[in-house]
Structure 1
């Protein structure tokens, strides 16, 4: 297997994973509806950054070490589930507030608000939300731990492939998210109406809590 062949084969697998609805799609869609294109692209960038970190970690063996330690995997899994549940609950709680809003506040600065600290820029907070969701999702780590060894040519440096493979995945992800964000932008005025915003926040919140429950109870 050559490097171009490995990249092409991996691109097919990664494309299928990208278009399957997941918590990353929910996060980007909700951000696009409630805040607009720039924060949505920032969240997508954070998700792809986390993907790159997982890919490099898998290539150098960090993910294999994580898989060998059931305790470490359990801690990561529960942390990811807790964070997703917190995001979902934040959306649900805010959707029941009676104050009118032009756009839903970002859930990432909630901790800063609680402690009285100044809110970070929207783009940065959305990026942090995206990368946190990605890094605390053990399914991404397991995917790369299982997939990268299958696409490592014998003469290719593992670190190089650990960069190239998630780069392919990230490019596909950005293209997919860009399509979602563009489609959402045209309908944003309708989607941002108070009634619709509440419904979308509640749906997104329930979906994220569902993902959290699935991750927390999954024995694999």
Structure 2
């Protein structure tokens, strides 16, 4: 695996990360509702979860899950249920209102754990790596699992950078929304809606 291959993979990874999907929408939702630090904590959790998926793809575990309809369904519906639960919690708090000082009381460790759990419970991520990583592996060089792990680290690093940028951008939007008391009381509602959409998308997606 040479430098050109890694660079090509990086280009593809950036394009795929920028496409609207569960992870960047989750970061967007957390950043708008709770600020950029919350978004960054969530992003770090999501990217930590990628380690599990990359390792699963490198060791062939993803292929086993993909071949087992029951295993795939269990992971998929568990992930969807978790996101819908988070959406429900947001809707319950939709009238509480938010201020710029709310960020001081946030539990960033909890947000980090949410990011990890949300990512691990999305089997589509494992299948994504299972399909993508082998295309950039040089079979002649051997050590295929190690090559896949290296590519996974590259993907994770660029994802962290992009998610952090999304977090900063989203807080700008948040600050504009907070200038309107009526809208600020609906930020949790916005977050709940986004989480609900992500959860339903995972629940009704297939395994192909």
Please give the root-mean-square deviation of Cα atoms over the aligned residues, in Å: 2.4
**Secondary structure in structure 1 of the residue aligned to 2:138:** coil
**Secondary structure in structure 1 of the residue aligned to 2:93:** helix
Shift of 1:100: 4.1
Structure 2: distance between partners of 1:32 and 1:214:
21
More helix by share: 2
What is residue 48 of structure 2 aligned with on the other side?
Answer: 49
Structure 1: distance between partners of 2:78 and 2:12:
27
Shift of 1:178: 2.0
In structure 2, the CA distance between the partners of 1:4 and 1:167, relative to structure 1 (3 Å rule), is same
Shift of 1:169: 1.4
Query: Contact conserved, 1:34 with 1:105, CA < 8 A, in 2?
Result: no
Structure 2: distance between partners of 1:104 and 1:34:
12
TM-score, with length taken from structure 2: 0.86
What is residue 208 of structure 1 aligned with on the other side?
Answer: 195
Task: Please say which of residues 72-81 and 195-204 is displaced more in the overlay.
Answer: 195-204
Shift of 1:181: 2.1
Shift of 1:103: 6.0
Query: Contact conserved, 2:97 with 2:186, CA < 8 A, in 1?
Result: no
Shift of 1:182: 2.1
What is residue 114 of structure 2 aligned with on the other side?
Answer: 129
TM-superposition CA deviations, 1:121-163 (whole Å, max 9, x none): 7121111111111111111111011112222211142332232
**Secondary structure in structure 2 of the residue aligned to 1:219:** coil
Query: Contact conserved, 1:6 with 1:153, CA < 8 A, in 2?
Result: no
TM-superposition CA deviations, 1:9-66 (whole Å, max 9, x none): 2222211211012222222223223333332211110111111221121011111111
Unaligned runs of 5+ in 2: none
What is residue 142 of structure 1 aligned with on the other side?
Answer: 127
Unaligned runs of 5+ in 1: 107-119
What is residue 93 of structure 2 aligned with on the other side?
Answer: 94
Query: Contact conserved, 2:98 with 2:185, CA < 8 A, in 1?
Result: no
The number of residue pairs the alignment matches comes to 204
Structure 1: distance between partners of 2:142 and 2:186:
49
What is residue 19 of structure 1 aligned with on the other side?
Answer: 18
Shift of 1:104: 10
In structure 2, the CA distance between the partners of 1:73 and 1:46, relative to structure 1 (3 Å rule), is same
Q: 1:165 aligns with which of 124, 136, 151?
A: 151
